[in-house]
Structure formats: structure tokens, C-alpha cells
Structure 1
Amino acid sequence: MAETGKSTKRFGEKRQAIVHAASVLVNEVGVQATTLSDVARAIGLNATSITYYFSRKDQLIVAVYEETLDRMDRMASEALAEPNPEDRLRKYVAQHVALRTRIRNGERGLLTALSEIRSLDTETQKPLLERYRQVVEKVRSFFGEPVSAEQQALFSARAHVLLEAMMWWPVWSLRYSSLDFPRVEERMVDILAHGLPAVRGEWRPSRLEVRHWRSASEVPSQNDEFLRAATIMINRLGYRGASVNRIAESINVTKGSFYHHHEAKDELVLACFNNSHNRLSATQMAGQNANGDYWGRLSSVLYELLRLQFFDTMPLLRTTALQALNSEHKADVVTRSNRLARRFAGFLIDGIADGSVRPIDPLVASQIIMSTLNAAYEARRWAERFADGDEAISAYASTLFSGLLDPV
């Protein structure tokens, strides 16, 4: 009996090591590029040995996602046990910072990006998406029991923004020493809790001129159609799910036509990122050149970008597509994303100087802005429930101009 217990323990430990190694690889190179051989090599096994624990790669990928969802559920449950919304928010952020600290100190495979769940077959992804929905429900409960449909919509937006902020934190945390994490944690909690403007709840976007970042009304070129179709499909299905065949079929062209415009799928993904970054940059510059104080200018930029994410026929590409790019291309995209975030930080610095933005850490706040905008595409169906598009934009943007703890 004792020997059986030891054997069972060894089996469990080895299985856990395999799941953790696979988690690291999925985060680094994506699901498609993760192979059983690579996982085996990472922990000193041969590929045949892996099949003793997981006979197929898709079983291993499901185990990776299940472990992450288990951890996310536990973290949400622990935070929800706190007595009030502020303590729940503080606890939840602290858990994610502590997790990142442990990873810096050598623990591996503790949290996996969920961006490619939708690339799995329908029956496989269904229970995983249901688990994620349960996590979202718990995070929404941080803010209390909604007493109206409007309040429920608001709490849903808050949960969505908070989850995305914590999923984006591992990316930009790389810019900080772990010695600075306690300070960054405090700044994140403050910004998420209370918002950005000096006058809480102030939201006064004005019309920006030109607006060429919006989709053109005239018939788009075939290349623009490829960019639109690929952006939407990658946002919905992830890199792996957005196959060349699917992209081509969605706009009724042949696979050969695709390769006439793009040598490879990675080239198309980079073109989508470039297009999205160009549009985001153009919106920022229009706001930079507008009149008024800097919170008013930033409000106008945020309004336009949320309008793109909610209602435009070509939204911005979600950063989840980064996961499948090779390291060189990924570094280039992240560098440009950081430059755009720094421009938002510039708006905030100038806003603090003119008194329209309260004293906050602009570098931390700029990353929260980026994650909030990035997450907005996933809230399209949420936005469709509003009779008025501006109301949807205002409700979602309130996470930035009022904060997650504004009493309603």
C-alpha cells in the first residue's frame, strides 16, 4: 500500500511538472508551436514518456488551461471573501503581484494566457469557457449585488476591465524590478479604484477632426478586406483558429489570392498589428493637437478608440495575437505598444500639470488604459445591449473616469 501511495505521488508530481513546462511554452510560443517533444525536453524526459501521462497534445493543453482556471477561481474566491469591494480589489491585485513575484523567484507555469481557448474544437472549449464565465461572475460579485439592469451592466464592465488589467500585468511587469512591485501594486489599486481625472466622474469627449482611423465608407481594397477579416477572426478565434482558409473564405476569395497579398500568415498578423497601431497613433495625435485641457483631450481619444472597438467594422487587433509570433516579431510589436502607452502617459503627465488629472503614476495608468482598450473588443456584445452607443462607451469608460469603486 505504501509503495502504491509513493507511486501515485510520483505520478502526480511528474504530471504537474509536465503541465507547468507546457504552460511556459504556451506562454512563450503559443499552442500551435508547443510540441510534446519540446515539453519532454524541458523536463528531461523523452517524448514517449510524455504519452504515459498525456496520450495526445490536446489533452495536455486542456490540462494547462484547467490549472490556470483553477488558480483564477481560487484567487477570485479568496478576494470575494473580503468584507467590502475595496478590500476585495486590493486583495485581488495583491494576489496577482505576489504570483508574479513567485515566478520571478523561480516558480514556473503558474498562469497561462487564455487567448487560444477559442481555437480548440467546440466540445473541448465549452467546459473551459464555462469555467471562465464562473470566474467572471465571482469577480463581478466583488462590487456587490446589482439592483438594476444598468448596475449589472456596469459591474460586468468593471469585472471585465479588472480581469484584463491583471492578465496584461505580467507583460508590462517585466519593465520593473520585483523590489518595486509593492509600490506598483499600490499605484494599480489606487488607479483602478478611483480613476484618472481630478474631478471624479468627469467625462467630456469632444469631436476630433479628420477621424481617418474609422473604417472608410467607400468600397475597401482587397488588402484592406484581408486586414479586416484577419483582425476580426484572430480576435475571435486566436492565431491558431484564424486559418488562412477561414480568412480567405470569409471574404469569398481563394487561398491563392491570400498569398498574392501576403507571403505568410505571420506577415498578415504583423500587417494587422501595424494597421491597428497606426490607427491608435493617429487618434492619439489628433487628441494631442486638440484644444482644451489634457483630460478633455484624453477623453476624446478614449471615446474614439472605444467606438472603434465596439462598433467599427474593423476593430483594433487584440494583443493576444502576440502569443503565437516568433520572439523577434513579438519584441517589435511590444516595443511599438509600449511607445503608444508612453504617449498616453504623456497625456496624463500634462494633465497632472494643468490640474485636470489627479496625481497618479502615469506609467502604471497608461498600461491600465492600454489593457482597458484592448479588452473592449471582447465587450462588443455587452455594448450592443445599450440603446445608445454613446451610453455604452460612457458606461465602459467610467472604469477609467470614475474608477471601479465609485458608488452607484
Structure 2
Amino acid sequence: MNQAGTAADAAAATIGGDEEHGTKRFRAKRDAILAAAAEAINEQSAKGMTFADVARRVGLNTTSVTYYFKRKEDLAAAAFEHTLDQLLAMLDTAAAEPDAEARVRRFLALNMARLARVQRGEDRAMAVLSDLRATEEPNRSRLMTGWREVFRRTRALWDPAPSRVHTDLHGARAHVLLENIFWLPAWLTRYEPDQYDRVETRLMDVFAHGIAGARSLWSPQPIDLEHAETEPGRAAFLLAATRLINQLGYRGASVQRIAAELNVTKGSFYHHLDAKDDLVTACYQRSFDTISDCQRLADAHGGSQWQRLVSVIATLLDVQFAERAPLLRTTALSGLPADVRTAMVDRSNRIARRFAGTMMDGIAEGSIRAVDALIAAQALMALQNAAFDMRKWAGTMPRERAIAIYASTLLFGMFDDRAIG
């Protein structure tokens, strides 16, 4: 080879190397921006995220961030897509396992390992998907398509459904599994990182075998939660706000939209509540009071601890599926100020501890299987919290059947077909 050829080859190699180095640097910076955006979304919601805040988190100026993402909406969409891609990758890995239980076990293990890396500072948290439906077009359609694919592949962790009723059952299981994965970061921080393996084992035990004792059957007794409203106008605002926030997230459900839902002015809103944060706090208080009232009434009625537990779960699922007066989704937490968010999570944990107390007493009397009650209680919180999203699914069958199928996912386990007879 002549010298000219050698020099040309060397120059080409240098240019190629520079391009590759530049591409890696670009991707690394873009990934850092996406990670910072995810943190901001998780703390402030997608609507509350700002370029300035994201830039500060990665040590850039705002102009530098706009080099990678021209609009804030595009940055939020990219952060959501990154979450969806991570979920799909984990689902693909889990799908290679030989049976449904092994697939679910693998999917949980992958997520627990990811959260452990986040705790050690080796990875960044995924953006929560609570604001997905509030994104603007054309991002919204693309993101919702991605979410439906995540749900489809999660449902496929179970073997092909031989009937429509099995399809319904697998859909309920997929939804409860995903919601428990999303709820993990809210309570896992109460455990030391070296306990994560134990948490994973105990949570999978609930997924695999449920909570019911060997002789316990599904026989809930309805609990009457009807009570007179002291301020009917304020109650109407709370219910309208809860429905919209559940559908669109904290930022997506504006005061104007809530007022329009009730066909009143924004001034009427501020007659009942001082600010939007006050509204969300009041919605949470109403929801938590509903759950606490249900638990208290079940205890007052008596019966075995299992009977009390299933009556509460059935009643709360009926509330969620009816949609008239649903409970507020925890997805609204990311839009609240940190101190208010902490207070709401604390109230949620107190309710979970009451579920845990019921299970501990049930284990002692033999009506509930020996499980880690604190972990099982958090799984139940995720189940009842997320049921609002399954109201259309529930509307395709008699309400009692929908409640029994959905509740069976944790009460009898995700691989037991007793719920469908």
C-alpha cells in the first residue's frame, strides 16, 4: 500500500473515530437529560417540569437542553418512552422463562434489581407514567400505543387464554402486577437495601400463593358506606376533581376543566376551596376516610379476620368500578408539594398497617395464610388504588364477577383459577 493510501486510511479512521466519540458523547448527555427529566416528573409531574430545573440537575444551561429537545412536551414524552422501553426490555427477558410463575418471578426480580441499583446510585429512577393521558398530540397517541404494548406483553406472561373468561382473568392479573411494580418505590424505601431480596421473596410469595387460608372462600359481605354530605356543593367538586385527576393526572386536571365538568365558574371553585393543592389534599382525605370507614365498619360487623378483609376489598372495588365516587389514584402525588405529598403517603401507610393488622390476626386464627403482612398490605393498597383504571373492563361482565376476578389476583394468587369456577 502506498503512503497516500495509508494517510487517507488513517484520516478516515480518525474521522470515523471522532464521529463515534461524538455520538457516544451525545447519547450520554441525552441520557443524563432524560434521567434528570424523569426525576423532575416524579417530583413535580410532567406539566410541572421545567427546562431550567432539568438543566440545573445535569449542570447545563437551558439553551443546551433545547439543543437535544426543542419543546418541554417532547422531553417529557421522551422520558415516558424511555420508561416504556425499559419495561418492554424486562418483559422480553421474562418471557423467555418456561412457565407463567417463572416469568412473573423474573419480571419482579428484574424490577427489584433496578430499584436496588437506583438506591446505590448506579441507575436513575424511571419516570412514572401518571401523566401519560395528559400529554399532547401527536405524542399522546404514540405513548398510549406503547403503554398498550406493555400491557399486552405483561398479560402474555401467562399462558395463552383458552377462553374469554381466562382472557379477563389474565388481564386483571397483568394490571395488578404492573400496578404493584409501579407502587414499589413508594414503600420500598422503608427497607434497608440489604433486605430487598427478602422483600422480593415475600412479595412473590403473595403473587404466587395469595393470602387466603387453606379453607377460606370468597364470601364478602357488602358494607354500607352511604353517609350524608354536610357540604353537597363541596362534595360535588371533590368527586368531579377525583375523576378528572384519575384520568388526566394532577396537572392535566386544571381548575377550569373541573369547573367545566360541573358547569360552574372558576369563582365557584374558589368559594369551596382556596387553591388546587387544597383540592387534591381534600380529595385524598375523602378517599382515605372512605377506606378507613370501610375498615372500621367491617371490624364493627365482626366475623373472621378473613371475612372482614374480603368484605373491605370487595366494597372498595365496587366503589372504584362504579365510578360515581371513586378513590383518588396515587398518581396525583407527584404534583403535590413535598410536605403535603409526605403527609398523604404517611396516611396511606397507616391504612396499609391496618390491613396488615387484620392479616396478622387472621394468620393467628388460621383464616389467612402465613404471609408477610406488611408487604401483603402494600400489595392490597396497589390493587384497590388502581382498580379505577379497570372500570371499562369491569363493565363487560356482572359487577360481582368483575370484583371476584380482580380480587382473586392477590387473595388467591396469580396462578389459581378458582375465581372463574
TM-score band by shorter chain is over 0.9
| 1:404 maps onto 2:414 in alignment | yes
2:216–2:306 Cα contact (<8 Å) kept = no
Greater relative contact order (Cα 8 A, min sep 6): structure 1 or 2? Answer: 1
1:356 is paired with a residue whose SS is: coil
Instruction: Specify the alignment match of 2:20 in structure 1.
Output: 5
Instruction: Specify the alignment match of 1:249 in structure 2.
Output: 260
Instruction: Specify the alignment match of 2:239 in structure 1.
Output: 228
2:126 to 93, 105, 111: 111
Alpha-carbon separation, structure 2, partners of 1:122 and 1:378: 21
Instruction: Specify the alignment match of 1:25 in structure 2.
Output: 40
Instruction: Specify the alignment match of 1:156 in structure 2.
Output: 171
Instruction: Specify the alignment match of 2:6 in structure 1.
Output: none
Alpha-carbon separation, structure 1, partners of 2:288 and 2:146: 32
How far off is 1:252 after superposition? 0.6
1:103 is paired with a residue whose SS is: helix
Query: For residue 84 of structure 1, what is the amino acid of its counterpart?
Result: D
1:230–1:272 Cα contact (<8 Å) kept = yes
2:218–2:310 Cα contact (<8 Å) kept = yes
Alpha-carbon separation, structure 2, partners of 1:256 and 1:45: 41
| 1:356 maps onto 2:367 in alignment | yes
Instruction: Specify the alignment match of 1:389 in structure 2.
Output: 399
1:199-238 to structure 2, matched below 5 A, reads 199=214, 202-208=217-223, 210-212=224-226, 221-238=232-249
Alpha-carbon separation, structure 1, partners of 2:216 and 2:400: 15
Instruction: Specify the alignment match of 1:240 in structure 2.
Output: 251
Alpha-carbon separation, structure 2, partners of 1:400 and 1:41: 42
Q: Which moved more, 1:368-377 or 1:193-202?
A: 193-202
Listed one character per residue, the Cα deviations across residues 340-386 of structure 1 (whole Å, up to 9, x for unaligned) are 00000011001001100010000000000000001100000000000
Instruction: Specify the alignment match of 1:62 in structure 2.
Output: 77
Q: Classify 1:333/1:148 alpha carbon distance in 2 versus 1 (closer, same or farther; 3 Å).
A: same
Query: For residue 34 of structure 1, what is the amino acid of its counterpart?
Result: M
Query: For residue 221 of structure 2, what is the amino acid of its counterpart?
Result: S
1:4-403 to structure 2, matched below 5 A, reads 4-199=19-214, 202-208=217-223, 210-212=224-226, 221-386=232-397, 388-403=398-413
TM-score (norm 2): 0.93
Structure 1 runs (4+) greater than 6 angstroms displaced: none
Query: For residue 396 of structure 1, what is the amino acid of its counterpart?
Result: Y
Gaps of 5+ in 2: 1-14
How far off is 1:124 after superposition? 1.5
Alpha-carbon separation, structure 1, partners of 2:153 and 2:240: 34
1:289 is paired with a residue whose SS is: helix
| Larger radius of gyration between Structure 1 and Structure 2 | 2
How far off is 1:401 after superposition? 2.1
Query: For residue 305 of structure 1, what is the amino acid of its counterpart?
Result: L
How far off is 1:312 after superposition? 4.3
Query: For residue 289 of structure 1, what is the amino acid of its counterpart?
Result: A
Alpha-carbon separation, structure 2, partners of 1:219 and 1:259: 18
Alpha-carbon separation, structure 2, partners of 1:196 and 1:28: 33
TM-score (norm 1): 0.96
1:143 is paired with a residue whose SS is: coil
Listed one character per residue, the Cα deviations across residues 290-334 of structure 1 (whole Å, up to 9, x for unaligned) are 221100111111111000000141100000000100100000000
2:67 is paired with a residue whose SS is: coil
2:216–2:367 Cα contact (<8 Å) kept = no
Alpha-carbon separation, structure 2, partners of 1:291 and 1:261: 38
Alpha-carbon separation, structure 1, partners of 2:336 and 2:373: 29
- How many pairs were matched up? 403
Alpha-carbon separation, structure 2, partners of 1:401 and 1:174: 25
Alpha-carbon separation, structure 1, partners of 2:308 and 2:162: 34
Query: For residue 212 of structure 1, what is the amino acid of its counterpart?
Result: E
Query: For residue 243 of structure 1, what is the amino acid of its counterpart?
Result: S
Gaps of 5+ in 1: none
How far off is 1:37 after superposition? 0.8
C-alpha RMSD of matched pairs (Å): 1.5
Query: For residue 101 of structure 2, what is the amino acid of its counterpart?
Result: E
Query: For residue 374 of structure 2, what is the amino acid of its counterpart?
Result: L
Alpha-carbon separation, structure 2, partners of 1:38 and 1:220: 40
1:81–1:88 Cα contact (<8 Å) kept = yes
